[in-house]
Chain A
């Protein structure tokens, strides 16, 4: 596809369950970013992948959060033992390494923990 694709678009889960969120970046984009957007908050950086380099995990809020990127393309964000405060919209962005400002966002996954 032409844009960044995220799935599912909506996810409702019970407290304590694990969830996986998927991001398909634009083909050829080497950089991939995960952000979290909570109600009334801006985008909070979570993790950043650049090519084959070790990811920048400095934004992950706890060890319940992890992410991987397979084959330099698709990425999965996993939240273990979900808590109600994890409820938010999780946004993924990708960027071509040659475009300084070319961050393209997906429409996000709206996660609700009940």
Chain B
């Protein structure tokens, strides 16, 4: 079992839909959680981050962490074609150490 599991999709939704992206993990020591967005032939860029359990909202994006279930989620409201990308979850046990990534979920939003 990999430390971080993420359904690779692809996930196709119409413009305006609510998108839910998820990751599960096995290492209970993880406490730093991030979501990255990666466009084709580009490096990943940080989208959201949370520490330990809880929710965080930033515009159309909401990140949730449930440490008791070892489950993290990213919700995208009012999805736009420009949201079409690969979304990668990442996590670490200690600040600044190497991030452990999921495989990424490819999202396509059609207009």
Q: Which residues of A contact B (CB under 8 A)?
A: 4, 31, 33, 35, 40-45, 48, 50, 56, 59, 91, 93, 95, 97, 100-108, 110
Contacts and interface: CB of A to CB of B under 8 A. Distances in A.
Interface of B: 4, 6, 8, 32, 34, 41-46, 49, 88, 90, 95-104
Given A33-B98, A42-B103, A105 B32 contact: no
Nearest to A99: B96
Contact of A43 (B8, B42, B49, B88): B88
A43 B34 contact: no
10 contacts: A42-B88, A42-B103, A43-B44, A43-B99, A45-B100, A95-B96, A100-B32, A103-B34, A103-B99, A107-B43
Given A42-B88, A101-B49, A107 B96 contact: no
